[in-house]
Structure 1
Amino acid sequence: MRPELLVKEDNNELKCELQRKEELLRRHYDKISQWQNLLADLQGHTVYNKCQQQTAQAPPAVQQAPAPQHVVQQSVQAQQMAAAAAQQAVLQQQAALQQQQVPRPPHPPAYPANVQRR
Structure 2
Amino acid sequence: MSLFTDSLPGLFSAVGAAAVIALGRLLSRRVRDVQGAGTTALSEGSRVLRRYTLLRTAGPDGAPDQYETTRPPGTVITHRIGGHPQRFELTDVPLGDGTYAAEPFD
Q: TM-score range by the shorter chain?
A: 0.3 to 0.5
Instruction: Point out the structure with max Rg over C-alpha.
Output: 1
Structure with more strand by fraction: 2
User: Relative contact order (C-alpha < 8 Å, sep 6+): which is higher?
Assistant: 1
TM-score by length of 1: 0.36
Structure 2 length normalisation: TM-score? 0.39
Structure with a larger share of its residues in helix: 1
